[in-house]
Amino acid sequence: MPNIKLAVIYYSSTGTNYQLAQWAEEAGKDAGAEVKLLKVPELAPQAAIESNPAWKAHVEATQNVPEATSDDLEWADAIIFSVPTRFGNVASQMKQFLDTQGGLWAQGKLANKVVSAMSSAQNPHGGQEATILSLYTTMYHWGAIVAPPGYTDPVLFEAGGNPYGTSVSVDQDGNMIENVEGAVKHQAKRTITVAEWMKNGSR
């Protein structure tokens, strides 16, 4: 059977969601998927980036990561999104990317993609769940198949127990508070499994 094609698409200003995306990429490859790690374009003014040393450093460190395109969405069987919350909603950089996919949507080329999402914020109730659910609303319009982690593995409880998608809180120094690596990797493998069911039929 052909390998699942997984696109891990993220936005990250200072690196948290980039790390989540890298863990998902690693798990995808370990599960035998063909994986693309992609970022969405940065929309913030250069002055805003320059004023935040961590933001500036992250932009420079990831300048060689390819930017996601519509072709990548069409290519993928499964997509994992990782995005920080902005006032309980999807960061504008990711929203802009999603909002420009009307052409693919109109052609039905986003239907039946298997999707899952992850998020972060600076405190445990900073809007991570709302952000993931907001992103999933777009996926419902696509006709995509949402594959949340639910409570399908004990490792999810170690990460805070978010059934919608792995989420993490970050301290003032940019360090992740919860240990979510295992949850991210489980979520990625589960997404690939569901995509295999879709592509090859459940046995």
**pLDDT in the model for residue 108:** 96
Instruction: Indicate if the pLDDT at residue 186 is higher than 80.
Output: yes
107 neighbors 94 (Cβ within 8 angstroms): no
pTM of the predicted model as reported, rounded to 2 decimal places = 0.95
Full domain range(s) for residue 14: 5-200
DSSP secondary structure letters along 63-80: TTSPBP-HHHHHH-SEEE
145 three-state secondary structure:
strand
Count of domains in the chain?
1
Could you tell me the CATH number of the domain that includes residue 52? 3.40.50.360
What percent of the chain is predicted at pLDDT more than 70? 98
